[in-house]
Structures are given as C-alpha cells and as structure tokens.
Amino acid sequence: VSNGNLLAILNRHYQDLTCLCFTDDSSHFLSGAKDCLALVWNLYSVLQAEPSQIPDPRHVWSRHSLPITDLYCGFGGPLARAATASLDQTAKLWEISSGDLLLSVLFDVGIMAVTLDLSEYHMFCGGMDGSIFQVDLCAWPVQRDRAFQTERENGKVFKGHRNQVTCLSVSTDGSLLLSGSHDETVRLWDIQSKQCLKTMNHKGPITNAFIVLAPANMFNPDGKPSVPLPKFSKHLHGTESTDEQGSEGVTLRLGLHQQDSGESYLEKAEKMYSQMYSTREKNLVGDQEHLTIQVSELEEEVSTLRKINKNLFDFSARIITKPAK
C-alpha cells in the first residue's frame, strides 16, 4: 500500500472469488470462492515465493458443497477460529492452526453472511430469506454436526428483513448487531431482546455495512488524510518498465549484515505509523484547546445568568414586600 507495487498474484481458485479476510495479526489471510473452497494463506510464504511459482495455501477447506458466500476470522492470530457461510445451507467453524473442522450447523435456507461476537460465544448467520440466526457455540451437548430448526429455536432468530441478508457486524460490547440486506435497509438490533432498534433506508441493495471504532479526528472539520497513497500497479513488481518512478519492492531485512542504503518495508511502515500518530496527537491537542475555550465561554455565560437571576429576585422581592399605600 505504501508504494502501490503489486507483489503477488495467487491463482488457486477455479471460479470467482467471493470473500477475503485477514487474521487480526495479519500473519494469515483467507479466501473463499464459488468453487466451494476456502483457502488459508500464510502471508510470509506468499511474499517470499518466487514470481514464477504459485505458493501453496496452508489449508484447503473443501467441506462445502455449494459456493462460499462469506468468511469471518476471530481473534488470536494463527490460533484463531474462522467461520464460513455457504449456499449449501451450512455455516462451519474452523481452527486455523490445525485446519480442523470444529462445527457445522445446517439451516433451512442458504446462508449469505456470517460473523462472531468478540467473546466468540455466539455465531450469527444471515439467510437468503432475510432471517438472521443466532447459534450458541457453547451449548451443551457439544456436537460437531448440528441442525438449527427455526420452529424449535424461535427465540434465536432476528426477523425483519424482507430479502437476503448480505452483511453482519457485532458491536465491541456484544450488545448490538448490524445487518444489511437486499431489501435496501440496514438494521440495528438489540441482541438480548432480538428487537430492531433502528432501520436506515437506502436507494439500492446493501452490499456491505460494519461497525467501526470512531477515529480521534472524525469530528474535526479540518481533518484530512495526511499520508498520500499512490495508485496500485497493474503488473507484478519486476515485470513493468524500469524507468517507472518509485517502483522499488518490499525489502524484508532479516539481519544487519545487509548494507543496502534503501529503506526496508518495516522502516517505511514505521515512518507511516509515526506520521499517522503525530497527526492524531495534534488533533487531540487541538480538541483539548477547543474544549478549554468552550468551558471558559460557558463559565462566563453561567455567571451572567446568575447576575440576571439575582437582579430578578431582588426586583420581585421589592415589589412583594412594598407596603400598600
């Protein structure tokens, strides 16, 4: 991203890709496609591979029988669990480290979206018919293959969407669920009561919606991106013309013996992070100054109101206590 170079092209799926996601530590990424396969890739292996070679994925998950529609990766880096959703009416939970299948849940409809809450106690699955199902991952007895019967588990279904659910996102505290659908609405749900708290209408089908933590300078009117990003290259690094400016690749320095004068990828990343954090600190300082000015203005206004109130009280007291003639 820092220089726009194309570093690798991975050709291992047989049909169109439908979803991609990184683990939280960026050590691995997962890809799902219409060929019913979900692949787990080691980022380091992909970057270290020769341009002429296609690197092998760490795991190939081939237990789905119809196209994969969505992926979600939990917390824990390479030890995390990942969820996959498919048109074969199942959602599956996997372990990234071993590649084992931990859980498979069968539904009445094809599943279009899947997510987990932060504590990974619940898995939420969005169906083709607009229903959203809540699966308890810690329910007893523990079974690897489970069927979700809507009639029997009526208290674990969010009902409101009139068309297929395309995306799901859970808030950090695990109390709210955000969902988007082809019925042109985004809905915010209370997970405990399964009630819809808010509906936002759009002018077309929703393709993606998710909850994020607000950045520090979000409400700053002068906030602008401070790190300019170049255009992404269309060709693999090393195959394009050499006279193109800024075409250096990623340098992974594994020791101090290399006397290369160019900056390594890690040094560039560190510089970018320092720029971003310095901007954030400036914004925070600016916010504090703004708050101080606001507080002083409010204090002046309060003192003025107190004077007016006292004058009114004295005036009223004089009229009330004035002896009648």
| pLDDT 10s digits, 182-206 | 999 999 999 999 999 999 999 999 9
pLDDT tens-place string over residues 280-313:
666 666 677 778 888 888 888 999 999 999 999 8
R_g of the chain, CA atoms, integer Å: 28
Q: Are 176 and 167 in contact (CB under 8 A)?
A: no
- State how far the Cα of 76 lies from the Cα of 54, in Å rounded to an integer: 27
Residue 314 has pLDDT above 50, yes or no: yes
Query: What pLDDT is attached to residue 230?
Result: 86
Query: What pLDDT is attached to residue 244?
Result: 46
Alpha carbons within 13 angstroms on the beta-carbon side of residue 100 total: 6
Lowest mean pLDDT among 130-134, 247-251, 266-270: 247-251
In the chain, how long is the greatest CA-to-CA distance? 110
Query: What pLDDT is attached to residue 243?
Result: 44
Residues 6+ apart with CB under 8 A from 48: 252
pLDDT tens-place string over residues 112-141:
999 999 999 999 999 999 999 999 998 777
Query: What pLDDT is attached to residue 46?
Result: 92
Query: What pLDDT is attached to residue 256?
Result: 45
Lowest mean pLDDT among 18-22, 140-144, 221-225: 221-225
Query: What pLDDT is attached to residue 189?
Result: 97
- State how far the Cα of 251 lies from the Cα of 272, in Å rounded to an integer: 16
SS3 19: strand
Alpha carbons within 13 angstroms on the beta-carbon side of residue 163 total: 12
pLDDT tens-place string over residues 73-103:
999 999 999 999 999 999 999 999 999 999 9
User: pLDDT band at residue 224, thresholds of 50, 70 and 90?
Assistant: confident
**Whole-prediction pTM:** 0.72
Residue 156 has pLDDT above 80, yes or no: yes
Q: Are 96 and 78 in contact (CB under 8 A)?
A: yes
* 3-state SS track over 22-71: ECCCCCEEEEEECCCCEEEEEHHHHHHCCCCCCCCCCEEECCCCCCEEEE
